[in-house]
Amino acid sequence: MYTPAITGSGIFTPEQVITNAELVKAFNAYADLYNLEHAAEIEAGELPAKEHSSEEFIVKASGIEQRYVMDKTGILDPKVMHPLLRQRSDDEPGLMAEMALDAAQKALKQAGKTAADVDAVICAASNLERAYPAVAIEIQQLLDINGFAFDMNVACSSATFGIQAAADMIRSGSIRSALVVCPEICSAHLEWRDRDCHFIFGDVATAVLIERAEDASGPYFEIKSTRCATEFSNNIRNNNGFLRRSRPDGVADRRDMQFMQNGRKVFKEVLPMVAEHIAGHMAHEGVEATDLKRLWLHQANKSMNDFIGRKVLGREPEAGEQPNILQDYANTSSAGSIIAFSKYSDDLVDGDTGLICSFGAGYSVGSVLVQRRG
């Protein structure tokens, strides 16, 4: 049995930013157009009027202040309200692969390794831009990596599930190393016309290189243990898919073909599940709350992270113990906990223990206990 370790991480951040002020202005303009167009139905009580959004509402509901996106022009156009992405030919690199390539190259550089040192690529993301061929295999080709690659989707928990898969293969000796990449174009599946969720998501790509600890070129994070769990729920759902055209009204502009959630139920049901999951994982590994130096949590909502931090540590987290990045990046699905890990892990010293945790649709929750070495 070999010891798996995270030896490098990288983040691709889009150039374009949408502030809450910009987003609110666009949404309110859309709401006014909608209300004008449907004035008769609204007056007759057949349709509810669209309410305005506000910066105060967004920050209070989520803690989000801005988000990075691949295209803001379409999102901020009240007559479009979704990103406008260039149609690429099949001979060009796909957009997700291109984003992942940047993050992967940064992870390799940090680890002091090259593509020749990688045996596998796992593309773990909530939304893949096509059914096949696998985006992971395209990334593998762009990096000129030998070996194999595959896609996987466990929604917002995809990164931690991907890390577990890679770590297990390394432990068994079937591979020496793997890149787990999470390219997330969340702006494309978000319903920007829905006041309750129009502010939630942003775009990003992350990558982590996982190797045998003995092959590490510098300081690394030993993967001490991983744990994953799932429980089916319809409270976070997207009904888009390849069977859409085969069903009555399948190609219509239906609300359920984009991100949907019952936020109150998610908050009520997911938080206890995550807190119990982490507590069970730590207890099984003999890790006390006082042993944890850092919690890198899924970046969906500040209130959720603060609640989990208090539950896990048994007190209010001190500054830096449970870093949030969603104020800048918003919810980036599977990538959120990895962004937090990548940005807030360099200060840990040899022997420090931390926990990466992601949770989301499924329901799904994944946790990774790591320890700094070197």
Q: Which helix (H) or strand (E) holds 148?
A: strand 148-152
Supply the pLDDT for residue 108: 98
Mean pLDDT (the chain) is 95
DSSP 85-143: -----TTSPPHHHHHHHHHHHHHHHHHT--GGG--EEEEE-S--S-SSS-HHHHHHHHH
pTM for the model stands at 0.95
Q: How many domains does the chain have?
A: 1
Give the separation between CA 220 and CA 208, rounded to whole angstroms: 11
Supply the pLDDT for residue 249: 80
Give the separation between CA 184 and CA 205, rounded to whole angstroms: 6
Supply the pLDDT for residue 16: 98
Range 307-330 average pLDDT:
94
Residue pair 325/338 in contact by the 8 Å Cβ criterion: no
Supply the pLDDT for residue 257: 85
Task: Assess if residue 353 is contained within a domain.
Answer: yes
Q: Which of 5-19, 184-198, 250-264, 324-338 has the lowest mean pLDDT?
A: 250-264
Structure tokens at 346: 């360099």
Range 143-148 average pLDDT:
97
- Judge whether residue 10 has pLDDT over 90: yes
Give the separation between CA 126 and CA 190, rounded to whole angstroms: 12
- Judge whether residue 60 has pLDDT over 90: yes
Range 12-33 average pLDDT:
98
Q: Under the phi-then-psi rule, with left for phi > 0, alpha for psi from -120 to 50, and beta for the rest, what region is 128?
A: beta
Domain of 253: which CATH number? 3.40.47.10
Supply the pLDDT for residue 340: 98
pLDDT digits (tens, 9 = 90+) for 268-285: 899 999 999 999 999 999
Range 153-163 average pLDDT:
96
CB count within 10 Å of CB 201 equals: 27
Range 341-347 average pLDDT:
97
Range 83-98 average pLDDT:
96
pLDDT band at 262 (very low <50, low <70, confident <90, very high): confident
Task: Assess if residue 319 is contained within a domain.
Answer: yes
pLDDT digits (tens, 9 = 90+) for 104-119: 999 999 999 999 999 9
Task: Assess if residue 91 is contained within a domain.
Answer: no
Supply the pLDDT for residue 110: 98
pLDDT band at 80 (very low <50, low <70, confident <90, very high): very high
Task: Assess if residue 365 is contained within a domain.
Answer: yes
Supply the pLDDT for residue 267: 84
pLDDT digits (tens, 9 = 90+) for 321-342: 999 999 999 999 999 999 999 9
Which residue in 123, 156, 197, 357 is the catalytic one?
156
Higher pLDDT: 7 or 238? It is: 7
pLDDT band at 252 (very low <50, low <70, confident <90, very high): confident
High-pLDDT (> 70) share of the chain, %: 100
Sequence-separated (6 or more) residues with CB below 8 Å from residue 360? 126, 155, 156, 157, 236, 270, 298, 300, 333
Query: What is the residue range of 328's domain?
Result: 219-371
Supply the pLDDT for residue 169: 98
pLDDT digits (tens, 9 = 90+) for 174-187: 999 999 999 999 99
User: Where are any strands of DSSP class E within 168-319?
Assistant: 177-185, 203-212, 220-230, 236-237, 260-261, 292-297
Higher pLDDT: 245 or 359? It is: 359
Supply the pLDDT for residue 263: 82
Task: Assess if residue 36 is contained within a domain.
Answer: no
Supply the pLDDT for residue 247: 85
Task: Assess if residue 157 is contained within a domain.
Answer: no
228 is catalytic: no
- Judge whether residue 372 has pLDDT over 80: yes
Task: Assess if residue 151 is contained within a domain.
Answer: no
Task: Assess if residue 300 is contained within a domain.
Answer: yes
- Judge whether residue 102 has pLDDT over 80: yes
